[in-house]
Homo-oligomer: A and B are copies of this chain.
Amino acid sequence: MKSRASKAVKSKLPPTRRRREPRIRAILEAAEQVFLENGYEAGSLDAVAARANASKATIYAHFGNKVGLFKAIVASKIVQVATPLREADEKHVSVPDALTVFGQSFLSLLLSPGPLKIYRLMVAQGEQFPELAQMWFENGPKVAIATLAAFLKEHSASGDLDIDNPEQAAEFFLMMMRGRLHIRAVAGLSKPPYDKDVKACVAAAVKMFMRAYGSKIK
């Protein structure tokens, strides 16, 4: 059923023409597809090899075993999907506007396919791969909280907000935005696009947040 035309490929691409580490990139891409789509248990190395147009022996030569390949691919994907979080610039007029912009980009990221699949993997396999779970938490949730907390602390010092515990307030805001949206998405109960829901959730969360923490002195 799953025939691979490896003979034809081999004749068309002589060894010298191939770049160094020729199959590694293909294997990594294939593994990302397979594991993120099917999970760790259901993702087979046969499927990875077929998708990468490589042999299983090559996979073992480079990654040792299934665990090694899984760790490599998930670790790289974690960093990859988390990078947008580190590019948070705030040059906005009012605090609510800044919260809205930040919130929308954060929530959109959270609901996009990559992070959603990583979340599923971490929830399902976190106990089996503690280092990955740790890495995911440090690069994802923790960064989001810290980034927002810094912003809140700043604007609390300047009198725009009235916040005792910026970290906690940041957590509250991020959690409130999620509401039912994220939980339903990860369980497969809702499908994209989420644009409209994202805007509504962020707006509601901003309103509630300002009601609680908006400076009364003005």
Q: Give residues in A with beta carbon < 8 Å to B.
A: 39, 41-42, 119-120, 122-124, 126-127, 130, 133-134, 136-137, 141, 145, 165, 168-169, 171-172, 175-176, 178-180, 183-184, 186-189, 204-205, 208, 211-213
Given the known interface contacts A126-B189, A176-B175, A187-B126, the answer about A168 and B204 at a Cβ–Cβ threshold of 8 Å is: yes
- The 10 A-B pairs at the shortest CB distance, nearest first, are namely A41-B41, A127-B188, A212-B212, A126-B187, A124-B124, A126-B188, A175-B175, A133-B187, A123-B123, A211-B212
A189-B138 Cα distance, complex, nearest whole Å? 11
Shortest distance between the CB of A92 and any CB in chain B (Å): 23
A137-B212 Cα distance, complex, nearest whole Å? 29
Among B137, B165, B184, B204, the residue within 8 A (CB) of A189 is B137
A136-B139 Cα distance, complex, nearest whole Å? 30
Given the known interface contacts A39-B124, A41-B41, A124-B120, the answer about A180 and B189 at a Cβ–Cβ threshold of 8 Å is: no
A137-B189 Cα distance, complex, nearest whole Å? 9
- Can you give 27 A-B contacts (C-beta < 8 A)? A39-B41, A41-B41, A41-B42, A119-B123, A120-B124, A123-B124, A123-B187, A124-B124, A126-B186, A126-B188, A126-B189, A130-B188, A130-B189, A134-B189, A137-B183, A141-B180, A141-B183, A145-B180, A165-B204, A168-B204, A171-B176, A171-B179, A172-B176, A172-B205, A172-B208, A175-B178, A212-B212
Given the known interface contacts A126-B189, A171-B179, A179-B171, the answer about A137 and B184 at a Cβ–Cβ threshold of 8 Å is: yes
Shortest distance between the CB of A5 and any CB in chain B (Å): 30
Shortest distance between the CB of A146 and any CB in chain B (Å): 12
